[in-house]
């Protein structure tokens, strides 16, 4: 009986693949995220909670950032830009349970409590310099949209050699 050895090329698993071992996801993610934030953070294999998911786009004149913050009011969102790093923090408060006497018809008894309070945050290195004073933010249907105009003064500069 003749046995033939067939070379098998394993497929590249995505870093987001649920079948990938958590340690392999961590190692691959270390080289993709500049500040170790987002879905490839150091804590990601252990807990995916607390990470704010964002989309970042760029036009000719601005950087656009979209973040999903369902159920969070505009007063509970903090946005900061410092040295080219955008920080977004959103905090959701938990509704307090009513604690009226047991005989009162107004008392609420929960059968299931899945909505939780907590906060999510994200720090993102912006791809270009932006004009922080002209930044605009809107919150509509649980989507935070940031429009960060590019800083025209921060473009490339030629340096003369003496």
Length of the chain measured in residues? 162
- Cα(11)–Cα(65) distance, integer angstroms: 33
Query: Can you give the pLDDT at residue 86?
Result: 95
- Cα(76)–Cα(33) distance, integer angstroms: 26
- Taking only the tens place, the pLDDT of each residue in 42-62 is 443 333 456 788 999 999 999
Query: Can you give the pLDDT at residue 109?
Result: 78
Q: Is the pLDDT of residue 38 over 50?
A: no
Sheet holding 77-82, edge to edge: 77-82, 85-92, 118-125
Average pLDDT over residues 112-118: 75
- Taking only the tens place, the pLDDT of each residue in 57-66 is 999 999 999 9
- Cα(22)–Cα(16) distance, integer angstroms: 10
């Amino acid at each position: 009986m003749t046995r033939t050895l067939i070379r098998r090329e394993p497929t590249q698993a995505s870093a987001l693949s649920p079948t990938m071992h958590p340690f392999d996801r961590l190692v691959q993610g270390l080289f993709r995220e500049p500040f170790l934030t987002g879905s490839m953070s150091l804590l990601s294999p252990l807990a995916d909670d607390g990470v704010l998911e964002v989309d970042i786009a760029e036009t000719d004149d601005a950087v656009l950032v979209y973040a999903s913050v369902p159920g969070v009011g505009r007063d509970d969102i903090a946005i900061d830009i410092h040295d080219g790093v955008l920080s977004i923090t959103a905090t959701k408060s938990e509704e307090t349970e009513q604690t009226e006497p047991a005989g009162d018809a107004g008392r609420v008894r929960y059968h299931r409590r899945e909505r939780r309070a907590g906060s999510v945050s994200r720090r993102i290195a912006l791809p270009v310099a932006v004009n922080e004073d002209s930044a605009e933010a809107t919150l509509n249907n649980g989507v935070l949209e940031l429009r960060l105009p590019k800083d025209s003064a921060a473009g490339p500069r030629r340096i003369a050699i003496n």
